[in-house]
Amino acid sequence: MTEATVAATESRLVRALGMWALAASIVNVTVGGGIFRLPGEMSKLLGPSALWAYVVCALAMGLIVLCFADAGSRVSLTGGPYAYVETAFGPFVGFLSGVLLWAVGTFALAAVSTVLADSVAALVPALDNRVAKAGVLAVVYALLAGVNVGGVKQGARLNDVATGAKLLPLLLLVGAGALAVSPENLAATPPETGSLARACIVLIFAFAGVESALVPSGEVRNPARTVPRAILMAMLGITVLYLALHAVAQGVLGTAALAQSATPLADAAGKAMGSGGRTMILVGTAVSTFGYVSGMILAVPRAPFAMARDGFLPRAMASVHPRFHTPHVAIMVQAVITCALAISSQFILLAVLANLGLLLVYAACCLAAWELRRRGVTTDGAMPFRVPAAPAIPWLALAVIGFMLFSVTLEEWAWVLAVLALAAALFVVTSGSRAAR
């Protein structure tokens, strides 16, 4: 596809997302259902030293998002990381990254959707059966697809509301729980390197989301300023929140009880604030997962839209609604696929492997940031984001990613390589049609 064709397709999208809307979207898709359970999982893996994993993941994400901020200020096309990598290294590498990005977002969205259905069922026992949960998911996806087809502004407003609604109970837990913390429960020594690397592979998924929230870059106002500021603002807030939540849960419950808890934040709230606090967090789980699904339905469909725009998928997937100026076909197809996965729940292995795919996407984006800076690429002549110690940042980020990949098994590598092989085959099969277009 020629640059003129890409520009014509992108010009039909409305640049309606500002800094606060994009930052809210990043927070919304990052603070999902995982944080309500991960403190318990981290305590199982690292015991009282679990907070170290949050620190390592925060440092890793800090380096990675600096690369995202740099690349995002230089490339404003829809597709986010997919567009960054494609611009830096060409369509083949870009397509492989796009497939991994879409797979990570799709399976994470489906997984969190099942948490949403379970949360609703816990609050309304009459819905605690397979058919009722499927109905709940169908209604949720139909509602959110309709909202996002109706316009990116509507989807962004819903994200703003959902972000505030999900953060309120978590902030209340941090404030009230801090008064019930036993300092001796927080005493810890640094964990072993191997255990820390494996724990980070699990925990990094709680920090993921920025790569999906940046996919609608073609609908962001003044991306050279908006993208880096929104990323840094959102990730700083997320890191502080996660550290505070785990510290409160561990400080209130103790390591042993925390490791055995299936609802660690709710249990900590119950001990610190009584039964009302526990109910508040359970409701917050439902609200948070709904907000996550809402944010991802805004972001994830833009990946197949971008790939269809470039000729990798059927042309219809790149359609833009004549009235609402949204990628309506991609939104509806994504909603159907993800809802079906969530209802069937036949995606557990790929959801686990998505962690590896995510780190590979991050690594590709770090390399892309270095290459885009080396070539002096800019968007519309705007001054790109000034990254401190820019030449070293991508390589430091890659070193931390390599540390986390140290714990990946050969079987996990084999599955991801198989996915990439299928993506490469699709690239070859569509080469003729892309050349004709």
Ranges of each domain in the chain? 3-436
Q: Is the pLDDT of residue 176 over 80?
A: yes
Task: Examine the pLDDT at 102 and tell me if it is beyond 70.
Answer: yes
Residue 421 has pLDDT above 50, yes or no: yes
Average confidence (pLDDT) over 83-99: 84
**Range among 48-62, 216-230, 301-315 rated most confident:** 48-62
CATH 1.20.1740.10 is right for the domain spanning 3-436:
yes
Q: Which residues, listed in sequence order, are joined to residue 103 by a DSSP beta bridge?
A: none
Q: Is the pTM of this model over 0.85?
A: no
Q: Helix, strand or coil for residue 220?
A: strand
| Selection from 156-170, 283-297, 354-368 with the highest mean pLDDT | 354-368
C-alpha 40/C-alpha 50 separation (Å) is 9
pLDDT beyond 80 at 351? no
Amino acid at 254: G
Q: What percent of the chain has pLDDT over 70?
A: 80
Among the listed residues 66, 65, 101, the one whose alpha carbon sits nearest the alpha carbon of residue 83? 101
Cβ(315)–Cβ(305) below 8 Å = no
Rounded Cα distance between 406 and 91, Å, is 29
pLDDT band at 77 (very low <50, low <70, confident <90, very high): low
- One-letter amino acid of 399: A
Q: Of 249-258, 297-306, 380-389, give the lowest mean pLDDT range.
A: 380-389
Number of H helices, E strands in the chain: 20, 0
Output the pLDDT for position 19: 67
Per-residue pLDDT for 392 more than 50? yes
CA end-to-end distance (rounded Å), the chain: 6
pLDDT band at 125 (very low <50, low <70, confident <90, very high): confident
Task: Give the pair of three-digit tokens for residue 13.
Answer: 């999208």
According to the model, what pLDDT value does residue 70 have? 79
Q: What's CA 222's distance to the chain center, in Å?
A: 22
Residue 220 has pLDDT above 60, yes or no: no
Q: What is the mean pLDDT of residues 143-154?
A: 73
- How many of the other CB atoms lie within 10 Å of CB of 276? 9
User: Within its chain, how far is the Cα of 387 from the centroid?
Assistant: 23
Q: Give the pLDDT score at 243.
A: 92
Cβ atoms of 16 and 227 closer than 8 Å: no
- Report DSSP letters for 8-73, one per residue: HHHHTS---B-HHHHHHHHHHHHSSSGGGTHHHHHHHHHGGGTHHHHHHHHHHHHHHHHHHHHHHT
Quickly count: other Cβ atoms within 10 Å of residue 384's Cβ: 21
pLDDT of residue 65: 79
The 10s digit of each residue's pLDDT in 227-286 is 677 777 888 888 889 999 999 999 999 999 999 887 888 889 999 998 888 888 888 888
Mean per-residue pLDDT for 289-301? 78
pLDDT value, residue 347: 43
> What is the pLDDT of the chain when averaged over all its residues?
80
Distance CA 92, CA 418 (A): 16
How does pLDDT run across 110-121, given as a tens digit for each residue?
888 887 888 788
